[in-house]
Amino acid sequence: MALKRVLAGATMALAVLAAGPVAAQKKISVLTWNIPVYEEKIKGWIADFKQIRPDITVEWIDKKGPELGPFYQTQSAAGTPPDIVNVQGALWLEYAANGALLDLGPYLAKEREVAGRFDPNFMKVWQFEGKQYLLPFYITKTLLFYNKEMFKEAGLSDPPKTFDEILSHAAKMTKGEKSGFLTANFDWLYWPLFAMNGVQLVTPDLKKAAFNTPAALDTLTKLAKATDSGAINKIAWTGRWVEPNGAFAAGTVGMLHIHAPAFFYVRGSGKWVNQDTLGVAAVPGGWSTPNSHALFISKASKEPDAAWEFLKLITSKKWAVTFGTTLNNLTGNIEADKEIMAHFKANDPLAARVLEVQMSNLDKITGNWPLARDSQVKEAFYTEIQNAVLGRKTPKEALDTAERNVNRVLSR
Amino acid sequence: MRRWINRYSITFGLIGLAVLGWNLYVAAHRDGLLTGRVAAADGSAIAGATVKVRERTMVSSEPRAEAKTDAQGRFRVEGLDYHHLLVEVEAQGFKPLPRQSVRLWFRGQNRALEAPLTMERAG
Amino acid sequence: MGRHPTWPIHLALVAVSFVMLVPFYWVLKTSVTGENIFSYPPSVVPRDVNLFYYVDVWYYIPFVRFLFNSVAVSAIAVVSNVVFNALAAYALTRRFPGRKWVILLFLSCMMIPFQATIIPAYLITQKLGLLNTHLGLALPLCSTIVCIFVYKASFEAVPRSLIDAARIDGVPDWQIIFRIMLPLSKPAIATNVILSFIWSWNSFLWPLIVTRDKAMQTLPLGLSTFLSYLENTTGALYAFCVMVLVPGIVLFLLAQREFIQGLTSGATKG
Amino acid sequence: MFQLIRTKRHRELALVALFLVPSLAIFTLYRIVPLFWNLGLSFTEWSPFKPAKFAGLYHYEEMLFYDDVFWTALWNTVVFMASAPIAIALALAVAMLVNGDIRGRNVYRAIVFLSYPLMTVAVGIIWRWLFDGKVGLINYVLRGLGLTEKGISFLDSFEWAMASVVVAAIWQVIGFFMIILLTGLQSIPRNLHEAAAIDGAGAWQRFRRVTLPLLRPSIFLCLVIGIINSFTSFDLIYVMTGGGPANATELLITYVYRAGFVKNQFDYAAALTVALFVFFLGLTWIANRASGGDAGAVETGE
- Give the pairing type, strands B34-40 and B111-112: parallel
Q: Tell me the C-alpha distance between A96 and A258, whole Å.
A: 26
Q: Which domain holds residue B111?
A: 31-119
Task: Give a yes or no: residue C172 inside a domain.
Answer: yes
Model pLDDT, residue D136 = 77
Model pLDDT, residue D51 = 79
ipTM value, please give it.
0.77
Q: Which tops the pLDDT comparison, C202 or A60?
A: A60
**What DSSP designation does C236 have?**
H
For helices C99-110 and C63-93, the axis angle rounded to 10 degrees is 150
**What DSSP designation does B61 have?**
E
Q: Is B103 on the interface with C (CB under 8 A)?
A: yes
B partners (3+ CB pairs within 8 A) are A, C
Q: What ranges do the domains of chain D cover? A: 1-29, 54-290
Distance from CA of D4 to the nearest CA of C (A): 15
Q: Report residue C36's pLDDT band, with 50, 70 and 90 as the boundaries.
A: low
Distance from CA of A290 to the nearest CA of C (A): 19
> What mean pLDDT is predicted for residues D149-171?
84
Chain B CB contacts of C233 under 8 Å are 58
> What mean pLDDT is predicted for residues A50-64?
89
Task: Give a yes or no: residue C154 inside a domain.
Answer: yes
Chain D CB contacts of A383 under 8 Å are 69, 246-247
Chain C CB contacts of A59 under 8 Å are 213
CATH number, domain with residue B91: 2.60.40.10
Of A99, A243, A383, the CB nearest to D69: A383
Q: Which domain holds residue C123?
A: 61-224+254-264
% of chain A at pLDDT higher than 90 = 47
Range in D42-46, D135-139, D236-240 with the lowest mean pLDDT: D135-139
Residue of chain A nearest C135, judged by CA positions: A17
Q: Is it the case that residue C226 has pLDDT exceeding 90?
A: no
- Give the pairing type, strands A278-281 and A142-147: antiparallel
| B72 lies in the same domain as B59 | yes
Model pLDDT, residue A163 = 93
Across A122-126, A309-313, A369-373, the highest mean pLDDT is recorded for A309-313
Q: Is it the case that residue A61 has pLDDT exceeding 50?
A: yes
> What mean pLDDT is predicted for residues D151-177?
86
| B80 lies in the same domain as B101 | yes
Counted domains in chain B: 2
Counted domains in chain C: 1
Is the CB of A37 less than 8 angstroms away from the CB of B58?
Answer: yes
Model pLDDT, residue A194 = 93
Q: Tell me the C-alpha distance between C264 and C261, whole Å.
A: 5
Domain D54-290 top-level CATH class: mainly alpha
> What mean pLDDT is predicted for residues D137-159?
80
> What mean pLDDT is predicted for residues B59-86?
87
Is the CB of C189 less than 8 angstroms away from the CB of A78?
Answer: no
Residues of D with CB under 8 A from a CB of A: 45, 47-50, 58, 62, 66, 69, 134, 150, 156, 242, 244-247, 260-266
Residue of chain C nearest B59, judged by CA positions: C231
Q: Report residue D231's pLDDT band, with 50, 70 and 90 as the boundaries.
A: low
Q: Is it the case that residue D199 has pLDDT exceeding 80?
A: no
- The pLDDT tens digits of the residues spanning A72-115 come to 887 888 788 999 999 988 889 888 988 899 999 999 999 998 98
Q: Is it the case that residue C268 has pLDDT exceeding 50?
A: no
Model pLDDT, residue A282 = 92
> What mean pLDDT is predicted for residues C28-34?
82
Q: Is it the case that residue A312 has pLDDT exceeding 90?
A: yes
Q: Is it the case that residue D298 has pLDDT exceeding 50?
A: no
Distance from chain centroid for Cα D221: 11
> What mean pLDDT is predicted for residues B85-90?
90
Instruction: Tell me the one-letter amino acid at A259.
Output: H
The answer to whether the CB of A255 falls within 8 A of the CB of A169 is yes
Count of CB atoms within 10 A of residue D70's CB? 22
The answer to whether the CB of A18 falls within 8 A of the CB of A48 is no
Selection from C266, C105, C126, C116 nearest residue C184 by Cα? C266
Q: Tell me the C-alpha distance between A200 and A212, whole Å.
A: 9
Q: In what helix (H) or strand (E) does residue B101 lie, and over which residues does it extend? A: strand B97-103
- The pLDDT tens digits of the residues spanning D9-49 come to 777 788 888 888 889 999 999 988 998 988 998 999 887 77
Is the CB of C233 less than 8 angstroms away from the CB of B58?
Answer: yes
* Cα–Cα separations (whole angstroms), residue A249 to A253, A349, A357, A389, D134: 8, 19, 20, 24, 13
Distance from chain centroid for Cα B20: 23
Interface with B, mutate which of A6, A12, A35, A37 (most B CBs under 10 A): A37
Q: Tell me the C-alpha distance between A245 and A259, whole Å.
A: 11
Q: Report residue A299's pLDDT band, with 50, 70 and 90 as the boundaries.
A: very high
The answer to whether the CB of A181 falls within 8 A of the CB of A255 is yes
The answer to whether the CB of C186 falls within 8 A of the CB of C259 is no
Range in B88-97, C164-173, D159-168 with the lowest mean pLDDT: C164-173
DSSP string, D92-147: HHHHHHHHS--TTHHHHHHHHHTTTTS-HHHHHHHHHHHT-TTT-HHHHHHHHTTS
| B80 lies in the same domain as B35 | yes
Count of CB atoms within 10 A of residue B10's CB? 11
At A13 the three-state DSSP class reads: helix
> What mean pLDDT is predicted for residues C82-94?
88
Distance from CA of B42 to the nearest CA of A (A): 32
Q: Tell me the C-alpha distance between B80 and B65, whole Å.
A: 8
Across A287-301, C167-181, C255-269, the highest mean pLDDT is recorded for A287-301
Cis peptide before D245 (omega within 30 of 0): yes
Across B29-33, C174-178, D242-246, D260-264, the highest mean pLDDT is recorded for B29-33
Residue of chain C nearest A67, judged by CA positions: C208
Model pLDDT, residue A193 = 93
Q: Report residue D214's pLDDT band, with 50, 70 and 90 as the boundaries.
A: confident
Q: Is it the case that residue A222 has pLDDT exceeding 80?
A: yes
Task: Give a yes or no: residue C24 inside a domain.
Answer: no
Is the CB of C254 less than 8 angstroms away from the CB of B107?
Answer: no
- The pLDDT tens digits of the residues spanning C187-208 come to 778 778 877 888 888 888 888 8
| B40 lies in the same domain as B16 | no
Task: Give a yes or no: residue C12 inside a domain.
Answer: no
Q: Tell me the C-alpha distance between D136 and D117, whole Å.
A: 24
> What mean pLDDT is predicted for residues A275-300?
91
> What mean pLDDT is predicted for residues B9-33?
90
| B52 lies in the same domain as B111 | yes
Task: Give a yes or no: residue C231 inside a domain.
Answer: no
Q: Report residue A330's pLDDT band, with 50, 70 and 90 as the boundaries.
A: confident
Q: Report residue C72's pLDDT band, with 50, 70 and 90 as the boundaries.
A: very high
- Number of H helices and number of E strands within chain B? 1, 8
E strands within A42-160? Answer: 57-63, 84-88, 127-128, 131-132, 135-138, 142-147
The answer to whether the CB of A236 falls within 8 A of the CB of A181 is yes
Tell me chain A's radius of gyration from C-alpha atoms: 24
- The pLDDT tens digits of the residues spanning D50-96 come to 778 888 888 998 888 888 889 999 999 888 888 888 999 999 998 88
Model pLDDT, residue A195 = 93
Residues of B (38-67) whose Cβ lies below 8 Å from C: 58-59
Q: Is B8 on the interface with C (CB under 8 A)?
A: yes
Q: Tell me the C-alpha distance between A62 and C95, whole Å.
A: 54
Averaged pLDDT score across all residues of chain D = 81
Across A1-15, A198-212, A360-374, C85-99, the highest mean pLDDT is recorded for A198-212
At A286 the three-state DSSP class reads: helix
Using CB atoms within 10 Å of the CB of residue A369, give its burial: 0 to 12 exposed, 13 to 18 middle, 19+ buried: middle
Chain C CB contacts of D136 under 8 Å are 42
Task: Give a yes or no: residue C75 inside a domain.
Answer: yes
* Cα–Cα separations (whole angstroms), residue A388 to A220, A235, C5, D68, D69: 7, 15, 58, 15, 15
DSSP string, D286-297: HHHHHTTS--TT
| B25 lies in the same domain as B55 | no
Q: Is it the case that residue C77 has pLDDT exceeding 90?
A: yes
The answer to whether the CB of C150 falls within 8 A of the CB of D221 is yes
Domains of chain A, with CATH numbers? 27-140+291-361 (3.40.190.10), 142-289+373-411 (3.40.190.10)
Strands of A142-147's sheet in order across: A179-183, A253-259, A142-147, A278-281
* Cα–Cα separations (whole angstroms), residue D262 to A77, A208, C260, D172: 16, 24, 43, 28
Chain D CB contacts of C268 under 8 Å are 180, 183-184, 217-218, 221, 297
